[in-house]
Amino acid sequence: MKANAFLVVSLGCLMAAGAAAQNAGPKPYENVKVIPKSTPRAETTELMKHFTRALGVRCSYCHVGEEGAPLSTYDFGSDAKKEKRTARYMLKMVHGINARYFADEGTPSVTDMRRNEVTCYTCHRGSTEPLTDRPKD
């Protein structure tokens, strides 16, 4: 009887310790395909702010969530909006250009738009519709 009670208590402690260890690290990303999974949250936030400034939009342009509602109610992992899917494709393109043509100091970071040569702003300049300014054929 006593031994059993001891077992129950130590099992409980072990489970509590396990839960604490799980809560210790930052929450893993739900659905990132271009930015590395190890990217610190603060760095992702900086990248997301770059997106909003470069395109002249807010988080809800790409993410499922109510404009003005707390960000904690947003579903950032969802790919429901086509704008998010386009943005992911654009991020892959921008990283590809930087990695291929501007890699003189090693492979550039996917997320650090302050150091990358080509950024979302290069084309978008504060608008969702970049001016392609085609010359008359």
* DSSP β-bridge partners for residue 75: 64
Comparison of 6 and 102: residue with beta carbon closer to ligand HEC: 102
DSSP-assigned letter for residue 64: B
Q: Which is nearer to ligand HEC, 33 or 115 (CB)?
A: 33
- What does the binding site for ligand HEC look like in residue numbers (CB under 6 A)? 29-35, 44, 48-49, 51-52, 55, 57, 59, 61-63, 71, 76-77, 83-84, 86-88, 90-91, 94, 118, 120, 122-124, 128-130, 132
User: Please, what is the minimum distance in Å from the beta carbon of residue 106 to ligand HEC?
Assistant: 20
| Alpha-carbon gap, residue 20 to 66, rounded angstroms | 32
Shortest separation between residue 4's beta carbon and ligand HEC, angstroms: 43
In whole angstroms, how close is the CB of 15 to ligand HEC at the nearest point?
26
Give me Rg for the CA atoms of the chain.
Answer: 22
Contact indicator for 80, 62 with CB cutoff of 8 Å: no
Residue recorded with tokens 């009670």 = 5
Output 2 or 28, the one with its CB closest to ligand HEC: 28
Nearer residue to ligand HEC within complex by CB, 5 or 135: 135
Q: How far is the CB of 27 from ligand HEC (least distance, A)?
A: 8
Give me the least distance between CB of 79 and ligand HEC, in Å please. Answer: 8
Structure tokens at 53: 């400034």
Q: What's the rounded Cα separation, in Å, for the pair 136 and 91? A: 30
Within a 10 A sphere around the Cβ of 122, how many other Cβ atoms?
14
